[in-house]
Each structure stands twice: as C-alpha cells, then as structure tokens.
A and B are shown apart, each in its own frame.
Chain A
C-alpha cells in the first residue's frame, strides 16, 4: 500500500508541534504514515511518534552539523526506499528549507503551506492559499510523489495511541552548506506562526516606546506571540520577524488581537484565517472591524492597560 513520509523536526529530543500536526494531517488521508526525524536528538524524538500515528519511524542520527541539503538527500533516499507516494513536512522555516529540496530530488513539484490535505478517490488533493489567502486553490499532482507542506496551527496534533517501530539510519555527512552556529531568540519569545494567540500592534501605538503595552497584553494571555503591521515594521518600530501580512507572515492562531491596526488588505490577507479575531481601534469605520468577531472602539492607551488587567484576572479564575 502506498505510504506517506513525514519529515519531523525536533528540538532537544522533542518533536516540534507543527511536525506532529503534519503527522495528523498525513494520517487523516487514511494512508500509512512513516516519519523521518533529523536533528541532534533525533533518536530520542523518534521514540513517541508512534503515539501520534506513525507506523514506522526512521531516525537520522550522527550528523556532525545541520546541513539542509544533506538532510534533504537522506530524506529523499528514505522516500525512494519506501516507495512513498506522498511526502509532507510542516511549513516552518526548517520545513520550507528542506521540503523543496526533497521534492526536487524526487523530481516532484511541491504545494506549500497547505491548509487541507484530502484523499479523493485515491488521489491526494491539496488546499492552499493564493495571494496570501485572498483566494484558495485546490490542486492535484501528477508528480511521482505528492509533496506538500502543512501550515502550522491548522491541523490538530492528535494522538492515535499507537506505537511504531523505530529504526536508526546514519545521516550522511556530505552537506554542501552547514549551520555553524545558531542563536536562540532571547526570553523564549514565541513566533507569530506557531503561537496559538497573537497580539499585534500597528500605527495606533504611536511609537516603538509604547509596544510594551502589546507585550504586556501578550504576557497576560500566557503563551502569546507579539506581531506587528507592515507600517510599524517599515518604520523600524518592530523587527520584521513580527510582521503579519502578505509581505510578512501568514498566521492562523486561535485568537488574533489587532490593536491600532486599520486593516489594510495586505494585513487582512495574513491573518484572516485566525479562528477568533479581536480588533481594538479608535476609528469605528476601520476596515479591520469588518472581519473582526469582536470589536472595541477606543483609544489603545486607555484600552490596553485595562484589558491586560482583566485578561490576567479572568485567567486566574
């Protein structure tokens, strides 16, 4: 029977959530799922992937340094040996670095950042946004291997209660490019793409010195990421890694809170698939209110401290 191979990322021996979501997406097609894990602690991370529905796990171990091209060759080799008819990875920075190379090595095209993967009469169909979500395309592939990446936060990471045979395989150390060092973000800040709650600020905050109000609200929610509109990133108020929108990151959190963001079409494209959208803006006619589930009209400087306090209090009870 045809198999889907899923590339799994790990950090300190724990599979990334976006990868577990990807295994779930693969399992939902009804096809058997094999996971391939790469990274310094791949063997450790491989151990519990059976619980998420992988029937077999291949751990690539012993790589001296991370090399995307070497990992891609190893993953493609596993896909070929399995005779996999599908290949999935999470659409994270690492997944998007690896998956296109694997697809090319399998001489197959790639569908990136998919929001659904369905089995339709034996063929897989990818659903993915075009123009940052202004349109949605459904696509089939005539490639030897159906290759796609799955958008984080869209698929559930559900446990199947199964178990998997784990085999280790020596990683090839023939990379052309190597990661020689990496610096983790300070303070363990969450990225907008992975966080289940995102609090974003725009020009309504009036200056970079006021973004502590956004950070404090994010902190009150617990594990929330801070985002920003293009206007404030272009103005240099916030780092570009926080930019949400067509020329930034596209996000689908459980809750998106837009503060002082008017809602230009390019921003809306990047966050319109959020489950719940809250908008806070002093202009009652701001376009952001048209797509917000809940709107509060008012001045960010009055609303934010009160909301931060109220959220913190509500979460305590």
Chain B
C-alpha cells in the first residue's frame, strides 16, 4: 500500500504572538517549532497501516528547508521517504493553495491513502484535508478517532459534538486524524541513527496563487482586569453575588 502522511511545521504551543511592524504578520523571532500535534497522530496511523498492510510511507510537507527536522523525526519512527515542497514563506498561503499543492504531489505519488492531522495548530483552519480530497476526487473522513482498513475499504469513526459517527468508504481516501485514534510512538535510537544521512527530497510546490489577502493582524483585546473576590467559603458567597448582581448571569 502506498501511504502518504501530510505534516506541517508549526510554532510550539509556548510561542508568544507579537505583531510585526507591517501589522500584517507575526514576528517569529524566538519561536521554536514542532510538527503540529495532530500530525503526530497522522504519522502513527500511517505507520500502523504499513505494519498491517505493507507498502511504504512518504511524509509530505510544505514549508522551509528547516522542516527537514520534523520530517526526519517521522522517518526515524518508521516512514520511508520525505518530501518537502519548499516554500520559504508559507505565511501568505491559504487552505486552497495548500490543498492544491498537496493534491498535485499526491497525484504523482499514486497514493492509496493520505493521512493528515484534523487541524494544524497555527492557522487552525481544519480545511486542507477535505479540500485535498475534493481536489483529488476522493472520499474523506474527518476527525477520525478509530480506523480499520481492510480489502480496500475504510471503516472509520469520527467524533462530533453529539456523538460518534461510523463512516465507510473505499480507498483511495483522505483520513484526518483526531486525538484518541492512537498513541504516537517515539523514535528508537536505531531509527534515529538509520535516518541521519537519509536524503529528503526538496521540490517546488505547484503555485495555484493565494486568494486570502491579509488586511491586518492584531493581538486579541486584553481582558479587563478581574479580581479575586475572596478566599475559601467566603469567596463562594462573593462569587455567587458577583455572578448574580454584576455579571447578571444567574
């Protein structure tokens, strides 16, 4: 089985936001990066699919050359090939642009299944997976928390606000992975050593032209300073009073 896992290099969750001088972007000075949280689950799903069905895994990303760090980590965990669609400044890209660039590459790889995270934890669009599937003309199951692939068919459970849906479709398909699907493994020392000298392909992405135009980027309005209404049981009385008479929420 030909498996593709799409990943994105994003700022760590500790990254602080600071608006750049142009007022249209964020100042990334001092940021550390990581693979988006849900992409770890996507890669683990890819590795488990390979363990069960054989084949090989390509880790595919769009980003700067530095994303090779995250790609290499996933190669060490069990993926076979890494491809970076090199884009030095992905900050002006939008979900359509990304989905089209990925669709063009996935098409040439002849993939049977593509795993993505349910959302990337920087722009939080949760759009690329289903857009990618639509451009490929494939089915897609989003927010997947349980997955079975057998005889070319996918049976997946997806989590909604109201419960869990079971969805069935045929391969090839795009699966967007949610927390709970699996527990991502760590790379073994042997795996880390084995991929040290491995070449990660760098290619130019298909450029569909961005449609999103950034008007401004701001920090969120600061919250009006609150107050400690009290300590212990005295605090309970004061809190109920504030919720009732001040916030008028009760």
Contacts and interface: CB of A to CB of B under 8 A. Distances in A.
Interface in A1-56: 11
A297 B121 CA distance: 32
A303 to B, nearest CB: 6
Given A293-B226, A293-B247, A182 B166 contact: yes
A189 to B, nearest CB: 9
Contact of A307 (B99, B216, B217, B240): B240
B224 A293 contact: yes
B244 to A, nearest CB: 6
A185 B162 contact: yes
Interface in A88-145: 92-94, 96-97, 99-101, 103-105, 107-113, 125, 129-143
Contacts of B96: 103-104, 107-110, 143
Interface stretch (B59-67, B188-196, B199-207, B229-237): B229-237
Interface string B18-46: 01000000100000000001100000000
Contacts of A191: 161-162
Residue from the set B37, B130, B143, B235 with the largest chain A CB neighbour count within 10 Å: B130
A310 B229 contact: no
B192 to A, nearest CB: 24
Residue from the set A104, A113, A141 with the largest chain B CB neighbour count within 10 Å: A104
A298 B232 CA distance: 5
Given A104-B96, A310-B236, A314-B240, A129 B124 contact: yes
Nearest to A250: B124
B159 to A, nearest CB: 6
B228 to A, nearest CB: 4
Contact of B123 (A108, A130, A269): A130
B165 A182 contact: yes
B226 A103 contact: no
Nearest to A269: B13
Given A137-B217, A302-B232, A307 B140 contact: no
Interface stretch (A159-167, A199-207, A276-284): A276-284
B159 A93 contact: yes
B243 A247 contact: no
B interface, size bucket:
35 or more
A285 B217 CA distance: 31
B139 A289 contact: no
A interface, size bucket:
35 or more
B167 A178 contact: yes
Contacts of A108: 96, 211
Nearest to A93: B160
A62 interface: no
B168 interface: yes
Given A278-B239, A284-B228, A310-B236, A177 B173 contact: yes
30 contacts: A11-B162, A93-B161, A100-B95, A100-B127, A100-B129, A101-B140, A104-B131, A105-B134, A109-B94, A113-B125, A113-B126, A129-B220, A130-B26, A131-B15, A134-B16, A135-B220, A140-B213, A177-B140, A184-B162, A185-B163, A191-B161, A247-B38, A272-B220, A277-B226, A291-B223, A293-B226, A294-B243, A295-B228, A296-B236, A314-B243
Interface of B: 11, 13-17, 19, 26, 37-38, 94-97, 99, 121-131, 133-135, 138-143, 154, 158-170, 173, 178-180, 210-220, 223-224, 226-233, 235-240, 242-244, 247, 249-250
Given A177-B141, A296-B231, 7 more contacts: A93-B160, A100-B128, A139-B212, A176-B169, A181-B166, A296-B228, A303-B236
